[in-house]
Structure 1
């Protein structure tokens, strides 16, 4: 009996201690975090690696619709002169956070791994989200750490901002009656600073297709080469001047060789510093071209000197409601204004209302300047295999699509299975 009493007493003491440690009044080492339904509501707009983002930023709610969010996060990117990518994340406050806006950016290189790129995106998102989360109940569960690193010593750039690239490729495919082979190669050199933009490149392309059947034996060869050069000098935040150089040869365009040189001037109505979000650029080019043709043209020319000019206007907008891009360019030869071309292009992505998205794209060209066309008629093989440029007075393309998403407004869960 005495042993049983001692055993019962020990059980009662153990249960009392356990209850004491589980009591909210004594659990000072744990922090109470409100339920997830009270977390900040965020809409991700064009943000890449969303599965990774949701896994590494779990203290917010990801909503499906823009109007349901308290914070709208817009991601944009643009190439830099060193063939890197500047990634910009814009935070726009909504509802009780109206007026609380900011923008952060980071730069990644082409040699950076996917894991590094997505971790950088998450890092800058966390930095800014704290600004909003700190005003929500979820702030009780946030802890901030600082990982101090030694600052690297300044290193002189022995390449002086020049970036070079060399590529070469070859491939082939075939079946019983069709065989194809291709070869291409390129060399580029670029240098971009605040004051200058230099871009030079040389590429060549060769492709060959053979069709062998009982009734048909055709060999189709396409060959082209090009050297291009671009030099741009920044004047201020709205004006730039520069020049183009283009030397090329192409079986398709009936040119044994062609050289084009043109100075240019550009005016941006918006500051260049805002180009991530908007720009409205007007570009004028006027230059000289020398063509030497493979075959006599429809104008009985085998070689000629030409002067031409062009004017274009381009607009790009990226906003929380979507994006818009359009350009219009007109050009003509100075010896004959009837030899001209007008090209229009546009692309639109809109959120019409909650969950409904519209994508539009199209282009149209009014063509009156095909001076390179060979005078002889094209063979059936050349037409069907598109080995030579065809005469036309226009070219168009058009696309439209709708998408509608509905259901749960939250999209926090990540399931990588299968």
Structure 2
């Protein structure tokens, strides 16, 4: 039986004076692909130098996370040695509780960072200043008690909530209400997710000819089931039903079986993913108004292919999502999209990030045939037909100056 041994290197390391000469310190760069409380990290780990550039660091630390079935997070810290520490690598994973506060999560992160840095610190002049403490080995009685403590919820997790927004002035008022519910059960072999929401929004304008009120309503219920077929394959289905005044839908229902292949094992998804997902199934629509195809209801078959690539490395991260959805009764009715995002540190101090989303739209069979008023267009109350949609962003940053980033000063 495995013993629960934890190296608590924080005991003496936290007491090392910060005035120690910088040349004796370990130079580290933490690449947080999630939220990190830098003030807390630097206050609790004062025995290293925090570098501005990864190229100058002795240890590069990549922090990523992904959601767990219970609503918590699996956090992965990859420690990669540079310079005289080249060839030393380690990966540590830990889980956060779904009800954990920010204070608890940041403490877990700091403790894990200290554990991962230990193997590098013992090879520096600081080795003699480190002391260790090992927790007592857990008894078999304790292990048996833990094993007998079964989950009364059988891995089911539920969420229920809502939001409300009210704003206005003497000539305008707006009310926006949303309710939601979800239930999920996630294990390493199966994933079952159910979610539903309802949204109601009303806006009232005081015009010269009197008050005008506009209402937008929508609801949606979605069920997804996925079964694992090993480290690279998955099968399952999604089904959805809903309604939308904006989309000219009294009701719409879909059912789509799907299969997915991931070139990399799913356990590596936090750092790299290259997957192909194909789905096909019927879609039923009951429209509020007659569509541009002179229909009030119809059932159509639709299939789609989605290709997703994600990779997070020392130089940055890149993601690319491309795909196509197409109706089988008319091959000209399709929607093709591309969604690239790149964060790239080109060289010391210079980094860029850019990305966006673009789609070619040929499949809006739900557009109402009736005329749409200017008010409907301006207030986006009803959906319009279009040939494309897009958005994009671009950023450039160059940093120069001191290579150290050790101090925090939260004053003001």
| TM > 0.5 | yes
Could you tell me whether the CA contact under 8 Å between 1:34 and 1:138 is conserved in 2? no
- Partner in structure 2 of residue 255 of structure 1: 249
* Alignment match of 2:123 (pick from 135, 140, 159): 135
1:239 matched to 2:233? The reply is: yes
- Partner in structure 2 of residue 79 of structure 1: 67
In 2, Cα distance between equivalents of 1:171 and 1:319: 41
What RMSD over aligned residues (CA atoms) do the two structures have, in Å? 1.8
- Partner in structure 1 of residue 258 of structure 2: 264
1:163 matched to 2:157? The reply is: yes
Q: Does the C-alpha gap of structure 1 residues 338 and 63 become closer, same or farther in structure 2, counting only changes over 3 Å?
A: same
- Partner in structure 1 of residue 77 of structure 2: 89
- Partner in structure 2 of residue 7 of structure 1: none
Q: Does the C-alpha gap of structure 1 residues 242 and 109 become closer, same or farther in structure 2, counting only changes over 3 Å?
A: same
Give a deviation string over 1:265-321, Cα, whole Å, max 9, x none: 000011111111101000000000110000000000001111110011100001010
How much does 1:148 deviate?
Answer: 4.7
Give a deviation string over 1:16-55, Cα, whole Å, max 9, x none: xxxxxxxxxxxxxx99996233111001112611111111
Could you tell me whether the CA contact under 8 Å between 2:16 and 2:46 is conserved in 1? no
Secondary structure of the residue that 2:333 maps to in structure 1? strand
* Number of positions where the alignment pairs a residue of Structure 1 with one of Structure 2: 389
Could you tell me whether the CA contact under 8 Å between 1:316 and 1:325 is conserved in 2? yes
Could you tell me whether the CA contact under 8 Å between 1:34 and 1:137 is conserved in 2? no
Deviates more, 1:205-214 or 1:373-382: 205-214
The list of structure 1 runs, each at least 4 consecutive aligned residues, that deviate by more than 3 angstroms after superposition, is: 30-34, 146-152
Matches within 5 A, 1:55-204: 55-148=43-136, 153-154=146-147, 155-204=149-198
In 2, Cα distance between equivalents of 1:168 and 1:159: 23
In 2, Cα distance between equivalents of 1:31 and 1:186: 50
- Partner in structure 2 of residue 40 of structure 1: 26
How much does 1:391 deviate?
Answer: 1.1
In 1, Cα distance between equivalents of 2:338 and 2:178: 30
Deviates more, 1:402-411 or 1:88-97: 402-411
Secondary structure of the residue that 1:153 maps to in structure 2? helix
The alignment's TM-score, normalised by the length of structure 1, stands at 0.90
In 1, Cα distance between equivalents of 2:342 and 2:90: 25
Could you tell me whether the CA contact under 8 Å between 2:327 and 2:333 is conserved in 1? yes
The alignment's TM-score, normalised by the length of structure 2, stands at 0.91
Runs of at least 5 residues in structure 2 that lack an aligned partner in the other structure: 1-14
- Partner in structure 1 of residue 208 of structure 2: 214
Could you tell me whether the CA contact under 8 Å between 1:36 and 1:59 is conserved in 2? no
How much does 1:170 deviate?
Answer: 2.4
